[in-house]
Structure 1
């Protein structure tokens, strides 16, 4: 088999990258370890920065998102019994975020990709190994139905996540990894209940962090900070609802509509970055190169800038014979990555309970009080939350 760009991973990053390339007539083959139903059923984030939403439109798959997605102008922070709103639109010149579940986004991408003549998707591709990329002769080796297959390609995009084969294939002496493990995780619950508020609520409380989010006007997503030793099965729906109400101001908690959970899971929190993000003809994209705590809603949105830079660079190569943008990919992407890592760490640090030391909570409250009384402080949160712009010189 042969193609121009081999893509490892059939999640949103790989699918959107393939569509962006296809718009320029560039062919790709996507290798996905699971089947389509499994990938589409993954419960993931649902906050899209304008940059990610614009890429979906550019990829020709934004119609349902624009029809069903919920545009948000602000977020709410609660602490010390207070409710404070960050008016993102007014603080950033009209920028917004869109609430649209990653599950739905993935479905939209597959509906388009599987009809695209420039894209081939191979599901249940096992034992994927990228080879030859350091020598300018990249290949993807994999097994399908027990038979080994090799794909010759010009470039490889590793869009296969933190545990994927792309980064794992890189010799250890060729990369440097930075990691911070947080001493807690997020217990998430999805329910067919109306959201408690029309905007997201980020809650700092003595009992720990809580987040009230949504997927639609009738489907809610809630999160609780929990210890790393907690188990999902120990959290009944009743216990979850009782605890999240305890972490919210009373006037908000009393409005909460509860119901049976559709899904419950616990995710650990970490900050992780790999440098560089290019190894010969292999490029890392999204979670394969970096992980951030979900506090700032930056996971998929950070992958969006990787997709933008890499698709722009590959199109420049195939259309104009240029290699300068490919050479700049890692440096440019990492600049925005570290900015998002910083914000996600900082926002996590002021909203979560790290220990039982009461002075730390008092310091958090003092910082939040200062931020809410400062236009500059609110603007800092707003600018980072809606998403820093892509590098305008990358063209």
Structure 2
């Protein structure tokens, strides 16, 4: 009998293909997407009991087609629309390898906000239900349902077409697609709120979608770099917490717990990609992650090379987050005082004004510089600023370690 996991994998693989076919035939992304979700729910209930049909994609197309017909029948303005193609699975057109990419482009339409792009990508391309997406981002299901509904409405209002964007727009849209997958991975790897440090289900979905993008665009160096970055980073996940669930910083992790298979795959991708074309931000970040993964101990880390790569990244994709990471490399190469000086440039950054990461890094460098009181205050300030309970516990513990000894009577 086919396992539940393989059913889920098959449905997630087929979801964007079926959606692409329906949208290509009928337009109306929102109605087609709702119909596909109904078909996925039906398959989830029937296939584990009755077995996978001989033509699972046709089965899903037929069920989704009937859902579309029901939708149109309930809408008097669409009663006369042609439904034969949707009802006849034998009319299925050959697989178009670009359809999934087109769905990705549509979900990452510039008319949508980044949170809406994330949600719609996970639902339409990832095949996740609204409840699953809501759970992943720790929001109520009705809130997520409204976000997805508004996203589909905006796509309709923007007059988005189901086609490859014009050449001038294609690169920008593809950059958005990559960025959305990157954000999905980051949210899974370090959850912004809640009781867990990471969400393996979300990182796994991000890696699956990055594999899909790389397969659709094998010549795109940044798609390969993005997948390599995810693999090389996620390889450390098991070592990021100890047996009691406490966060373990990179320098203190048991590297024997890192996933050697994922590291090898990420390194191989990177080796094939670097030098084959223009180098972008994800390839550079992957190269930095590879240097961390190659070090057998924290002391063996090639910080001068990492520092040099951050200088390149700062030219290719400048921004406060890059500056923050670069400051850590500066401190490793030139000492904590130099790192603190580099952080000083971020004090006026609106993007980091409400983030705990700047305060946490500053506190760490102050700690290394021997500024105990300032470091303790910084750790506590950072702990108050984050909604992640594992990070709160870690930062509070770091502050407690710096508590001054009680005065003798």
Q: Please classify the TM superposition score into its range, dividing by the shorter chain length.
A: under 0.3
**TM-score, structure 1 normalization:** 0.27
| Bigger Rg, structure 1 or 2 | 2
Q: Flag the structure with more relative contact order, 1 or 2, with Cα contacts below 8 A and sequence separation at least 6.
A: 1
**1 or 2, which has the higher helix percentage?**
2
**TM-score, structure 2 normalization:** 0.27
